[in-house]
Structure 1
């Protein structure tokens, strides 16, 4: 039987590459995106309707949505509007996807659910400061997903839930970021290698694109 995969945000920079790599690995892929399907990760009604229209169990669900916004360099630049926007896109949205995707995840076999996090969301690894809203939203995402993994381990004992850091990927998301960047196809291969290599005993973890644990 062909494995089924669902990619949320499959028209974005990383999402396109994740979908393509999954298809190359033999998955039958379903995608949902705002630009093509009107799937709004910031609107729970939209999430519930989009996922509610799906019926097949999915062996792998990958949430590739995210937003960088305008990272603050100082506290003086911190504002409530940007903080709230970052939380809606980067923490609340993926968590609500998991809430409504529970019924789509099989209980009788191994399944995987992953979200794109970021190393800058690590509190233990933060030695530069700044980027307040984005960092905080990703830290909140990590807590939400980790907490959900504890609950879901009771009902879905073979489920792997993971927060994944892709590295700095060459997409419009990082267009103004002055660093060496990974091609999206390469990042997708790394992320899926890591995700497919995790066991249920490792559910709830925070991993980079090389499979290494990132401190919370």
Structure 2
């Protein structure tokens, strides 16, 4: 399977750097480049990329708006947000818009390549330490309309063990980390994660993290059910 990638960034040198990393890789094909969101949206519709590497702050149309528009037209496309630590608030907005994860712009080439292949298979990319920092910093100001009602609905739909796994998901833990914490096999955790996503109508782990903090199921800055 060849993964088609669309590069979206207003910095030509960054796009060139990404191209230099990706072009030699077998199984990855760069379908095109866009310098802002307004050109990325029609390009994504025409080229049908599997993965979009999306900058956030761009002229004409930012990456968050572009992500929403691209996924509204073609939800099977995966979007990876490219950012720096200074743009945490924009990252969270990007995740809520439907992005499958985020990467720091200075991520090593092997991390970038792994992330592209990971989201292309339908999983999400979350760096646990950065995810926790994001949610602890911005969780307290997330919109929470009907949050209490949704929280009770979430908890009622999950078994006690699924609640335990959901808590670890909300902290950005990998299946391996969750398995070690709960003394279960990775295969068992994978089954639990699949059931949690199906029960809650979520696309991936990113949406699980967002939902947990948005509804108050997990309290920002805490590692306990709210």
**What band does the TM-score fall into relative to the shorter chain?**
0.3 to 0.5
TM-score (norm 1): 0.47
Greater share of residues in helix: 2
Greater Rg by CA: 2
Q: Which has the higher contact order (CA 8 A, sep 6+)?
A: 1
